[in-house]
């Protein structure tokens, strides 16, 4: 890895011209991306922000009116929305915790040399390579108490894990865990393989216990990566739509993004849906901000 440090290949002749200045280069490298993101992410966002203060309905030709913060006020006072948030919170906690546990567990087990390790790792990643809509559709088949295999294997009889109002959310979370644990596994594995071997050797010489080695060496060194996995998975779980929408139509699995979709595209209440979208965005931003602050702290250690 470090062969290049002293001997760059074929150095060109020294000239007075140092190329473009560092500042210009920095701008050249950064500005296109930022501009691109502003045009394609921030413009629509401002647009939605504008709508969120109106009673605009995208399916009507009637003129829209400015309604101030009425959309926000009514949404925040609506019990139904809070139910949706509670469902979403439950879902995010169960599903992300499951993914972290399964993913990190798999990585711990995988973190040793054996034949076909690359193949096994790739195979384990297959679930996350599929489209959420297809995964949702097939898990619906798998969960069916009549023609799905899960009930026959697990021995649930006629009990529909996905169709029972109380367990449906967990059924959706299980599917999400199946699909995204490999992501956590991959990140953890990268972290684990980067832990310097000499630290373990030193621990072995000191006759440190397995638990001690794990909590004092492995975990601290892997934790930044685990946090990044946590950030991305939390964000994505909060936004889960395709998977849950294809799997279940129960009121007990109506995640906030499903509510949002219904408001925007079934009731065509564009103004209010934009307001709700903003509430969701602010929540995700807040959560992520906390994570990122914590991540920076962990990295500084």
Considering only residues 72 through 91, tell me which ones interact with other proteins, judged by CB under 8 A. none
Query: Which residues sit opposite 54 in a β-bridge?
Result: 66
52 neighbors 281 (Cβ within 8 angstroms): no
Site string for other proteins, 122-151 (x = CB under 8 A): xxxxxxxxxxxxx--xxxxxxxxxxxxx--
**Of the residues 48, 70, 83, 167, which one makes contact with other proteins according to CB under 8 A:** 48
- From 70-78, 91-99, 238-246, span contacting other proteins (CB under 8 A): 238-246
Residue partners of 128: CB distance under 8 A and separation at least 6 = 179, 180, 182, 183
Q: Is 241 near other proteins (CB under 8 A)?
A: yes
Considering only residues 205 through 234, tell me which ones interact with other proteins, judged by CB under 8 A. 207, 209-210, 213-214, 218, 221, 224-225, 227-228, 232
Quote the least distance from Cβ 44 to other proteins, whole Å. 4
Considering only CA atoms, which of 87, 256, 236 is closest in space to residue 176? 236
Quote the least distance from Cβ 242 to other proteins, whole Å. 5
Quote the least distance from Cβ 94 to other proteins, whole Å. 19
Distance CA 46, CA 281 (A): 13
241 neighbors 265 (Cβ within 8 angstroms): no
Site string for other proteins, 157-196 (x = CB under 8 A): -xxx-xx-x------------x---x---xx-xxx-xxx-
- DSSP, residue by residue, 29-80: HHHHHHHHHIIIIIHHHHHHHHHTTB---TT--SPP-B-TTHHHHHHHH-HH
**Hey, what are 225's tokens?**
């990566």
**Of the residues 68, 74, 268, 297, which one makes contact with other proteins according to CB under 8 A:** 268
């Amino acid at each position: 890895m470090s062969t290049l440090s002293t001997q760059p290949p074929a150095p060109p002749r020294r000239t007075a011209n140092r190329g473009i200045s560092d500042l210009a280069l920095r701008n050249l490298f950064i500005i296109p991306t930022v501009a691109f993101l502003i045009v394609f992410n921030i413009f629509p966002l401002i647009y939605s922000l504008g709508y969120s203060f109106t009673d605009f309905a995208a399916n009507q030709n009637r003129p829209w009116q400015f309604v101030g913060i009425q959309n926000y006020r009514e949404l925040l006072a609506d019990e139904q929305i809070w139910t949706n948030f509670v469902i979403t919170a439950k879902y995010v906690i169960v599903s992300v915790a499951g993914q972290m546990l399964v993913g990190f567990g798999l990585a711990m087990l995988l973190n040793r040399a054996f034949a076909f390790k690359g193949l096994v790792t790739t195979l384990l990643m297959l679930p996350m390579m599929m489209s959420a809509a297809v995964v949702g559709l097939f898990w619906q088949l798998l969960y069916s108490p009549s023609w799905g295999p899960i009930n026959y294997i697990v021995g649930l009889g006629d009990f529909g894990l996905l169709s029972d109002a109380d367990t449906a959310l967990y059924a959706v979370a299980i599917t999400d865990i199946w699909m995204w644990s490999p992501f956590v596994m991959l990140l953890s594995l990268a972290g684990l393989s980067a832990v310097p071997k000499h630290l373990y050797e030193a621990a072995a010489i000191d006759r440190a216990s397995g638990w001690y080695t794990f909590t004092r060496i492995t975990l601290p060194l892997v934790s930044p990566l685990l946090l990044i996995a946590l950030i991305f998975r939390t964000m994505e779980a909060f936004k889960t739509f395709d998977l849950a929408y294809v799997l279940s139509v129960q009121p007990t699995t109506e995640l906030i993004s499903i509510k949002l979709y219904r408001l925007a595209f079934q009731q065509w209440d564009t103004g209010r849906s934009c307001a709700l979208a903003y509430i969701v965005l602010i929540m995700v931003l807040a959560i992520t901000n906390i994570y990122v602050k914590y991540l920076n702290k962990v990295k500084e250690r």
